Structure 1
Amino acid sequence: MGIKYLVPFIVGLLSSIIDARPVSYPGGITVMGFSDNMKDSIYVHYSPTHYYSLGLETKKDKYSDSDYSYLRFTYLLDRKNTQHSQRNFYFQSGVSPDKASNHFIGFHGDWETRRLYAGFSYKNAKVSSQSYSDQFIQLGIAPYLGEYGDIHTWIMMKAKKNTLDNDWSVYPMLKLFKGDFLLEVGYNNKTKLDAHLMYRF
């Protein structure tokens, strides 16, 4: 691999490491905050290895009007690195320590180059004897290619649906990240604010 190809590859790889992924580098701790039409939550996870993470999520459920927490486990099922891209596929799960009938399982995947991004998530959850699924698809493009340490920007479109509303909602999102900090934010009239903050230690 020539030096003119090696440098962009390393920069892109380092940039993707701090993306909003549910497993960090070995020994890494990540703090995330989420807010949308279904929930407000704070999620902290620790990654003993780059294959899995263990965490705790505290959640305010806006549909059931209840507060509860999850003990969470995430496992990297597959990762593929090429000279210009990276692909990831994860298994995710959570169970409430107070009420085991509150739980979820799901999958999350993403693929990206320095210019293009595609991701999806699917969860099946049970809360207070009510079962539902929640899913989204996200596509994005970087309007410019920043260097390592710069502010990186993605312009995204997100489509999401849950079986409680049983209707797709599509809206734009903006993703910004620099160093160990990431912000994603989007809005439409139906789903209101969709925000995600992350900091990695």
Structure 2
Amino acid sequence: MRARARLLLLLIFAVGSAVVSARPVSYVGGWTFIEESNRQSTAALIHYTPSPSWSLGLRNEWVRDANYAITSLQPTYLLKRWFGQEYQANVYLQGGLGLASGTSGNPLSSTTAATAGVIADWETRRFFLGYNARYVDAGHFGDNAMQLFRMGWAPYEGDTQDLHTWLMLEIDHRPESADSVSVTPLLRFFRGAALLEVGFNIVDPTPLLNFTYRF
């Protein structure tokens, strides 16, 4: 009975996390649309999850200050997942291969671009920790690297179809930027298949806007 109750608890937590979290691998057969806008770039991604361990998507990212955009295929692999009695943790590997092209009159010719990254997170129903590191090689448009750390707290617990609210703080490191380290307080809201994040970078004054929808 104890084993059966524990299994039921893990299944409930897993389903709840799949619905409300911005995970790069969804449920099998599911599609996900993700929009991200931060102090460096604006991106849109749509991906499909054919198995529990990986997804494949098409991503377009506009690097605003450098005046170029990358269109790429982006696979994501779930390297490891842990379930505890009250927590879940994940480690993902991401890659990307595509084409970088100039924007806003940038005269440079199109070239091959590649990306590589890792995402890790740990969460309960009230607390969240996350880490993301990514490297981009866009040929003669340049290369860049970034890493960011997030911590979050939910002031209340809700049921699956309730509106959930998280208070979060994001610290990012971008060595190529004038302000290499910056801080962004943000709010995360989600309900059912939709997630919205809004924030503002207080070091490099820029809004943050992220949206995720699963269908």
Cα deviation 1:116-145 (Å, max 9, x = unaligned): 100010001112431221110000011001
Task: Work out which of the two has the higher radius of gyration on C-alpha atoms and give 1 or 2.
Answer: 2
Cα drift, residue 40 of structure 1: 1.3
Aligned-residue offset at 1:89: 0.1
How big is each residue's C-alpha offset from its partner over 1:81-123, in whole Å with a ceiling of 9 and x where there is no partner?
1111000000001111566631110100100011110001000
> CA offset at residue 54 of structure 1?
0.4
Cα distance in 2 between the residues matched to 1:171 and 1:36? 10
Task: Tell me if structure 1 keeps the 8 A contact 2:9–2:85.
Answer: no
Query: 1:2-41 counterparts in 2 under 5 A?
Result: 11-18=12-19, 19-41=21-43
Question: What is the letter of the counterpart of residue 105 of structure 1?
Answer: A
Partner letter of residue 115 of structure 2? F
Cα distance in 1 for residues equivalent to 2:157 and 2:10: 12
Deviation at 1:153, TM superposition (A): 0.9
Instruction: For 1:199, give the aligned amino acid.
Output: Y
* Correspondence 1:107 to 2:108: no
1:142-175 CA distance string (max 9 Å, x none) = 1001111101111011100112116211121111
- The Cα RMSD (Å) is 2.1
Alignment of 1:40-59 (within 5 A): 40-59=42-61
Structure-1 separation of matches of 2:24 and 2:111: 22
**8 Å Cα contact 1:25-1:50 kept in structure 2:** yes
Matched, 1:69 2:71: yes
> Counterpart of 1:127?
138
Higher mean alpha-carbon deviation, 35-44 vs 133-142, is at 35-44
**Distance (Å, rounded) in 1 between the aligned partners of 2:6 and 2:95:** 38
How many matched pairs? 201
Counterpart residue identity of residue 40, structure 2: M
The offset of 1:188, in angstroms, is 2.5
The whole-number CA distance in structure 1 between the counterparts of 2:11 and 2:125 is 11
Give distance in 2, aligned partners of 1:9 and 1:115.
16
Instruction: State the TM-score, normalizing by the size of structure 2.
Output: 0.86
Mapped partners of 1:95, 1:119: distance in 2: 25
SS at match of 1:15: helix
